Amino acid sequence: MDPPETARRLRPLLDALAAGPASARALAEELGLALPQVEEAVGRLRRAGFEIEHTDGTYEVRSVPAYGLGVAYGLEAPFAIEYHRQIGSTNDRARELAEAGEADVVVLADEQSGGRGRRGRAWWSPVGGVWLSVLLRPELDATRAGLLALLGATAVAEAVPAGVMATIKWPNDVLVGDRKLAGVLVETEIAAGRIEWAAVGIGVNADVVSTELPPGATSLREHIGTVDRGEFVRNLLVAVDHLRADPDRIPERWCRHAGTLGRRVRVKTPDGEVVGEALDVDGSGALLVDTGSNVTRVTVGECEHLRPV
Ligand code: BT5
């Protein structure tokens, strides 16, 4: 496995190359590297599928891989991309990177052999899906950690191409109709009441056929045909970046896509079931449910949409 600094080092080089042809010397100066380090980094990009021409001491990008590291080329969000063709779980790798002191890295995989959902459930992650974890160090009080799940789901809903009617079921399932398109698994490290780091794991059934997915699942491909995953991930990461920059606005942006509000719901919580009408989410991402006798604030639980009585 590459050391964590590799992904971080390639990002500024990709940005410099995306700006146009550049001499090795200019790149070295701009990036604060020695010439052999520039050559080594260009070699890494070539091995990752970039076609980079080198004539008269000038590098020029001729083509970019459609997925993988190609996602970082022209990405308008400050994340470094660490790409794996196959991995156990991107969230596990994000945790390793967090423990090595990293931030703002996206672990992206083509396939996961041990994809995880919440509470130990398995997450199917065949080739063609979008499986990634964004490692963030948000300025957020631990009591507001619930917002991060809303952030993940909102980013997916905002990035979904026009023509797909995606809605969010509280807190973080993205559905088309009543079938699941995407899920979010947030894992955090808390210290002294603050969030030290968060791995926001996002799984989207993008360019996958439904026969490769569990019952009850759907994919973007089922609705719009072949999907440009690179473009989708770039849009997703730009949305993540905007949302994390202004956490106070996450509930409002989440609400624009919410399918849960105004509906009768049953939420299974660690303290028992809450049944009633979902009214709103509060500033920490909790669901407010009118049970008929009071308004209950639900911070964790499994939410089910019920038919109106
Ligand atoms: C989730 O869990 O919805 C969170 C899924 C997070 C997956 C991402 S992929 C990148 C990152 N790395 C990881 O290892 N995980 C994250 P939950 O709400 O517990 O839903 C799990 C349930 O969804 C399962 O029990 C199945 O019923 C269903 N399911 C499993 N795989 C699915 C898929 N690909 N599409 C739709 N539903 C699925």
Residues 127-150: tens digit of each pLDDT: 999 999 999 999 999 999 999 999
* For ligand 1, atom 33: residue with the closest CA: 124
Q: For residue 60, which of 45, 47, 72 has the smallest C-alpha distance?
A: 45
pLDDT of residue 283: 96
pLDDT tens, position by position, 2-30: 776 777 789 999 999 999 999 999 999 99
Q: Is the pLDDT at 297 greater than 80, yes or no?
A: yes
Q: Does ligand 1 come within 6 angstroms of the Cβ of 118? A: yes
Q: Could you tell me if 47 and 40 are in contact, meaning their C-beta atoms sit under 8 angstroms apart?
A: no
pLDDT of residue 106: 97
pLDDT of residue 13: 95
Q: Does ligand 1 come within 6 angstroms of the Cβ of 95? A: no
Percent with pLDDT over 90 in the chain: 94
Residue 23 amino acid letter: S
* For ligand 1, atom 7: residue with the closest CA: 203
pLDDT band at residue 227, thresholds of 50, 70 and 90? very high
pLDDT tens, position by position, 231-251: 999 999 999 999 999 999 999
For ligand 1, the distance from its centroid to the CA atom of residue 110, given in whole angstroms, is: 15
pLDDT band at residue 203, thresholds of 50, 70 and 90? very high
For ligand 1, the distance from its centroid to the CA atom of residue 183, given in whole angstroms, is: 5
Q: For residue 126, which of 86, 166, 169 has the smallest C-alpha distance?
A: 86
Q: Does ligand 1 come within 6 angstroms of the Cβ of 175? A: no
Q: Is the pLDDT at 218 greater than 90, yes or no?
A: yes
Q: Which residues pair with 268 in a beta bridge?
A: 273, 302
Q: Could you tell me if 74 and 18 are in contact, meaning their C-beta atoms sit under 8 angstroms apart?
A: yes
For ligand 1, the distance from its centroid to the CA atom of residue 216, given in whole angstroms, is: 12
pLDDT of residue 7: 76
Pocket test for ligand 1, best of 123, 200, 213, 233 (most atoms within 8 A of CB): 123
What's the rounded Cα separation, in Å, for the pair 71 and 84? Answer: 13
0.85 surpassed by pTM: yes
For ligand 1, the distance from its centroid to the CA atom of residue 175, given in whole angstroms, is: 12
Ligand 1 atom having least distance to the Cα of 119: 19
For residues 111-134, give the mean pLDDT. 97
How many residues appear in the chain? 309
pLDDT of residue 307: 87
